[in-house]
Amino acid sequence: MIETDIIIIGAGPVGLFTVFEAGLVKLKCHLIDSLPQAGGQLAEIYPKKPIYDIPGYPEVLAGDLIDRLMEQAAPFKPGFTLGESAMSIEETSDNQFIVTTNKGTEHKAPVVMIAGGLGVFQPRKPPVENLENFEDKGVEYIIRDPEMYQGKKVVVAGGGDSALDWSIYLIENNIASELSLVHRRSSFRGHLDSVQKVMDLADQGKINLITEAEVIGLKGNGTLDSVQIKHNDGSEIWKDTDHFVPLFGLKPELGPIADWGLEIEKNAIKVDTRDYSTNREGIYAIGDINQYEGKLKLILCGFHEGTIAVQSAFARIHPDKKNVLKYTTVNGVNGFE
């Protein structure tokens, strides 16, 4: 069990800056993020995009901002649980919370701050009839263990790098016994090297390229047996397969926290702007994931929210202590030993 003062769900810019603000009042933080690296959407989707409204930076690349925030938080030695999703929360008799991830990692703290940006990144699922019935029974959205496909027939769908790279991998390493790549258009938009390699493998008869088509249905008895493919010209075929792997990228969703008993409004967590607390005492929501009148979904505003929320967290954790605001210029930044 990981124990800390504040569990921060989401290691994006707002979560990272909150580590710093918490450290100034001697509160320790541990961050949980479903992505394998800190940075959230900035690092995952647009590290090379410029941001123009961070005070003091006329222009800063998103990835560089994350690096600076990590540097700023470092003196306060934050803990990280990365590549895991926060799934459940329970309250203990001594007014603490236990947050457990999808891999069973347990975290205990008196305060939880939800700084999950737009939510948990989840695979974008194609609008295919029956899809849910075959999840983990032939349908996978992520290839975690390629050996699972050894000797199997596989249908991959998608036109981006992920679909191209996995198709190449599964064939070049002699894993899948048969591989079909289905894409809605006749051309692909991945890296040119990957596109060329897929074309070459198709010419050699090693990849069955099915373009201008979409998977529209699935069939099987308990596990996947075949997929229904509809061509743009209206014709349809059924293709025998053991696995269907739709690779259409990620999209953020509220995810499991939607079931945490929090008041939700406009697909975001409703908060009290006095301290950005939610309807559950001890749980705060900061950054793009919260909602209140006048809300602006800006990193800038998230920084402010985290700062205010930390003051309230301090009062919850140390009800008998009086916290006097200290300016960093007077005391400097005194990190943890």
Partner 1 sequence: MADNMITIHIIDREGVTHDLEAPTDMNMNVMEVCKSYELPVEGRCGGMAMCATCQCYLESDHELPEQSDAELDMLDEAFFVKDNSRLGCQIHINDEIDGIVLRLAPEGN
Chain residues in the site for partner 1 (CB under 8 A): 45-46, 49, 118, 124, 126-127, 158-160, 184-185, 189, 248-249, 251-252, 297
Residue 14 or residue 25: which is nearer to partner 1 going by CB? 14
How far CA 15 is from CA of 12, 23, 78, 103, in Å, comes to: 5, 13, 11, 21
CB of 305 to partner 1, least distance (A): 18
Grouping H, G, I as helix, E, B as strand and the rest as coil, residue 52 is coil
Q: Which run of H or E residues covers position 162? A: helix 161-172
Residue 19 or residue 245: which is nearer to partner 1 going by CB? 245
CB of 250 to partner 1, least distance (A): 10
CB of 126 to partner 1, least distance (A): 6
**In this structure, how many other beta carbons lie within 10 angstroms of the beta carbon of residue 214?**
17
Instruction: Give the distance, in angstroms, between the CA of residue 177 and the centroid of all CA atoms in the same chain.
Output: 32
Residue 11 or residue 128: which is nearer to partner 1 going by CB? 128
Residue 252 or residue 302: which is nearer to partner 1 going by CB? 252
Residue 75 or residue 190: which is nearer to partner 1 going by CB? 190
CB of 199 to partner 1, least distance (A): 17
CB of 297 to partner 1, least distance (A): 7
Q: What is the dihedral of CA 319, 320, 324, 325, to 10 degrees?
A: -20
> In whole angstroms, what is the distance from residue 89 CA to residue 315 CA?
22
| Cβ contacts of 220 within 8 Å, gap of 6 or more | 134, 137, 138, 226
